[in-house]
Structure 1
Amino acid sequence: MKRLLLFTALAVTGLVSYSQQVKGKIFDATNNNPLPGATINLAGKTVTTGADGMFSIDCKTAEITVSFVGYDIYRQKIRNCDEELSIGLMRSGHTLDSVEISATSAQNKSMLYQPVSITKLAPAELKRGQGIFFDDVIQTSVPGVIMNRRSVSGGQQFNIRGYGNGSRGTRGISSNFDGQGYKVYLNGIPVTDAEGITTLDDIDYASIGNAEIVKGPAGTLYGQAIAGAINLQITSPEKGKTSLAQQVMLGNYGLQRYTTILQTANQRSGIFLAYGKQKSGGFSIHNSSHKDFVNFVGDFQAGERQTMTTFVGYTDSYDERLGELTMAQYQAKDYSGNIEYIKRNAHSHVSTFRAGLAHTYRFGKAIANTTSIFGTGFRSDASSAGGWTDKTSVNYGFRTSFDTRFNVGNGALLSGITGMEIQRQDAQIVGYNMKANPSDPNPGGPWVYGVSPYWIVNVVTSNTAFVTTPTAYFTEWTLGLKNDLSITAGIGLSSQRIVLDDRFNSPAATVTRPAHFDTSYKRMVSPHVAINKVFNRHVSVYASYSSGYKAPVSSYFFIATPQVGTTPATARVNDVLKPEKGTQFEIGAKGNILNDKLIFQVALFYLKFSDKMTAVAVPVPATPPTATAYSYMINGDAQLHKGAEASIKYSVIKDGNGIFTNVTPFVNFTYSDFRYGDNFILKTGTSTAAGGIDTMNYSGLDVFGVPKLMMAWGVDVATKYGVYANFSHLYKDPQNISLERLTNNPETFALRKATSYNLLNAKIGCRRTLSTHFDFDLFVGINNITGVQYPMMIFVNQLPDAYIPAPPKAVVYGGLNLKYGF
Structure 2
Amino acid sequence: MKKIYFMILGLALVFNISAQTGRITGKVVDATTNEPLAAATIRVIGQGGTSTNVEGEFNIPCSVGADLVVSYVGYKTYRVALENCGTALAISLTPSNQLLDEVEITAISNTNPSQLYQAKSISKLNAKELERGTGLFMDDAINTNITGVYMTRRAVSSGQQFNIRGYGNGVGFRGASNNFDGQGYKVYLNGIPITDAEGVTQMDDIDFGSIGNVEVIKGPAGTLYGLAIAGAVNLQTKKATPGQASIGQNVLVGNYGLSRFTTQLQLGLDKSSVLINYGTQHSDGFMPHNASDKDFVNFMGTFTPNENQEISTYLAYSNSYDERAGELTIAQFEANDFSGNARYIKNDAHSAVTSFRAGLNHTYHFSNQVSNTTTIFGASSSQNNSSAGGWTDKSPTNYGFRSTFDLGFDLASGVTLSGIVGMEAQRQNALILGYSMATNNNDPNGYNVIGNQRSNQATITSTSSYFTEWTLSLPSDLSFTGGIGVSNMDINLMNRAYDSTNGTPGPSYETDYTGLVSPHFAINKVFNDQLSAYFSYSRGYKAPVSSNIVISTTGELNTGLKPEVGNQFEIGTKGSLLDSKLNYQLAAFSTKFEDKMTSVAVPLDANTTAYTYIANGGGQINKGLEVAVNYDMYQSTTGFFSSVRPFANLTYSDFTYDNFSYENANGVSNYDGNAVAGVSPIVANAGIDATANNGLYGNLNFSYKDSMPITSDGTTQSADYRLWNMKLGYHKMISSHFDMNVYFGVNNIFGEKYYYMVFINQLADAYIPAPKDANYFGGINLKYIF
Task: Quickly say closer, same or farther: Cα 1:92–1:770, change in 2 above 3 A.
Answer: farther
Contact 1:397 1:422 in 2 (8 A): yes
- Match for residue 127 of structure 1? 131
- Match for residue 741 of structure 2? 777
- Match for residue 449 of structure 1? none
Q: Which of 404, 407, 412 is 2:410 aligned to?
A: 407
Q: Deviations over 1:371-410 (max 9, x none)?
A: 1100000221000010000000110000000000011114
- Match for residue 517 of structure 2? 525
- Match for residue 352 of structure 1? 355
1:729 aligns with 2:702: yes
Task: Quickly say closer, same or farther: Cα 1:124–1:93, change in 2 above 3 A.
Answer: farther
Task: Quickly say closer, same or farther: Cα 1:428–1:617, change in 2 above 3 A.
Answer: farther
Q: Which of 640, 651, 654 is 1:659 aligned to?
A: 640
The residue correspondences of 1:599-748 to structure 2 (distance < 5 A) are: 599-618=583-602, 621=604, 624-625=607-608, 630-677=611-658, 679-685=659-665, 693-738=666-711
In 2, the alpha carbon distance for the partners of 1:438 and 1:92 equals: 63
Equivalent position SS for 1:725: strand
The residue correspondences of 1:459-478 to structure 2 (distance < 5 A) are: 459-478=452-471
Q: Which of 698, 701, 722 is 1:758 aligned to?
A: 722
Q: Deviations over 1:217-259 (max 9, x none)?
A: 0000000010000000011111111000100000011100111
Task: Quickly say closer, same or farther: Cα 1:578–1:380, change in 2 above 3 A.
Answer: same
In 1, the alpha carbon distance for the partners of 2:374 and 2:740 equals: 39
Q: How many percent identity over aligned positions? A: 51
Q: Which of 260, 263, 266 is 2:266 aligned to?
A: 263
In 2, the alpha carbon distance for the partners of 1:534 and 1:817 equals: 42
> Shift in Å at residue 463 of structure 1?
1.0
- Quick one: which amino acid aligns to residue 485 of structure 2? G
Q: Deviations over 1:277-316 (max 9, x none)?
A: 1100000110000101111001000112111000000111
Q: Which of 188, 193, 199 is 1:190 aligned to?
A: 193
Contact 2:119 2:524 in 1 (8 A): yes
1:98 aligns with 2:102: yes
Task: Quickly say closer, same or farther: Cα 1:31–1:156, change in 2 above 3 A.
Answer: farther
Task: Quickly say closer, same or farther: Cα 1:238–1:89, change in 2 above 3 A.
Answer: farther
1:201 aligns with 2:209: no
- Match for residue 541 of structure 1? 533
- Match for residue 813 of structure 1? 777
- Quick one: which amino acid aligns to residue 799 of structure 1? L
- Quick one: which amino acid aligns to residue 355 of structure 2? T
In 1, the alpha carbon distance for the partners of 2:42 and 2:634 equals: 23
5+ residue gaps, structure 2, are 1-25, 44-49, 58-70, 77-90
1:33 aligns with 2:39: yes
Equivalent position SS for 2:450: strand
- Match for residue 46 of structure 2? none
Q: Deviations over 1:125-180 (max 9, x none)?
A: 11111100111001100000011110001111000000012322x21212111100
Contact 2:30 2:94 in 1 (8 A): no
Task: Quickly say closer, same or farther: Cα 1:233–1:374, change in 2 above 3 A.
Answer: same
- Quick one: which amino acid aligns to residue 721 of structure 2? Y
Contact 1:558 1:573 in 2 (8 A): yes
- Quick one: which amino acid aligns to residue 478 of structure 1? T
**TM-score in terms of structure 2 length:** 0.89
In 2, the alpha carbon distance for the partners of 1:260 and 1:546 equals: 43
Contact 2:28 2:52 in 1 (8 A): no
Equivalent position SS for 1:555: helix
Q: CA RMSD in A?
A: 2.4
Equivalent position SS for 2:209: helix
- Quick one: which amino acid aligns to residue 733 of structure 1? D
In 1, the alpha carbon distance for the partners of 2:630 and 2:352 equals: 40
Task: Quickly say closer, same or farther: Cα 1:630–1:381, change in 2 above 3 A.
Answer: farther
> Shift in Å at residue 31 of structure 1?
11
In 1, the alpha carbon distance for the partners of 2:652 and 2:685 equals: 12
Q: Deviations over 1:587-640 (max 9, x none)?
A: 000111212211111000000111111234556x47743xx7543211120100
1:434 aligns with 2:427: no
1:575 aligns with 2:559: yes
In 2, the alpha carbon distance for the partners of 1:715 and 1:237 equals: 28
Q: Deviations over 1:186-230 (max 9, x none)?
A: 000000000000001111111111110110000000000100000
> Shift in Å at residue 557 of structure 1?
1.1
Task: Quickly say closer, same or farther: Cα 1:617–1:329, change in 2 above 3 A.
Answer: farther
1:238 aligns with 2:230: no
Equivalent position SS for 2:546: coil
Contact 1:612 1:635 in 2 (8 A): yes
- Quick one: which amino acid aligns to residue 324 of structure 1? E
- Quick one: which amino acid aligns to residue 579 of structure 1? P
Contact 1:427 1:465 in 2 (8 A): yes
- Match for residue 362 of structure 1? 365
Equivalent position SS for 1:504: coil
Q: Which of 759, 777, 782 is 1:795 aligned to?
A: 759
**TM-score in terms of structure 1 length:** 0.85
Q: Deviations over 1:469-508 (max 9, x none)?
A: 0000000000000011100000000000001101123557
In 1, the alpha carbon distance for the partners of 2:73 and 2:783 equals: 26
Contact 2:170 2:176 in 1 (8 A): no
Task: Quickly say closer, same or farther: Cα 1:70–1:263, change in 2 above 3 A.
Answer: closer
Equivalent position SS for 1:328: helix
- Match for residue 40 of structure 1? none
Task: Quickly say closer, same or farther: Cα 1:269–1:635, change in 2 above 3 A.
Answer: same
Contact 1:786 1:810 in 2 (8 A): yes
| Between 656-665 and 720-729, the greater mean CA deviation after superposition | 656-665
> Shift in Å at residue 684 of structure 1?
2.1
5+ residue gaps, structure 1, are 1-22, 38-48, 57-66, 73-86, 444-451, 562-569, 686-692, 740-748
Q: Which of 474, 491, 496 is 1:503 aligned to?
A: 496
- Match for residue 150 of structure 2? 146
Q: Which of 225, 247, 250 is 1:247 aligned to?
A: 250
Task: Quickly say closer, same or farther: Cα 1:807–1:213, change in 2 above 3 A.
Answer: same
Task: Quickly say closer, same or farther: Cα 1:90–1:461, change in 2 above 3 A.
Answer: farther
Task: Quickly say closer, same or farther: Cα 1:50–1:525, change in 2 above 3 A.
Answer: closer
Task: Quickly say closer, same or farther: Cα 1:530–1:469, change in 2 above 3 A.
Answer: same
Equivalent position SS for 2:534: strand
Contact 1:249 1:258 in 2 (8 A): yes
Contact 1:408 1:414 in 2 (8 A): yes
- Match for residue 485 of structure 1? 478
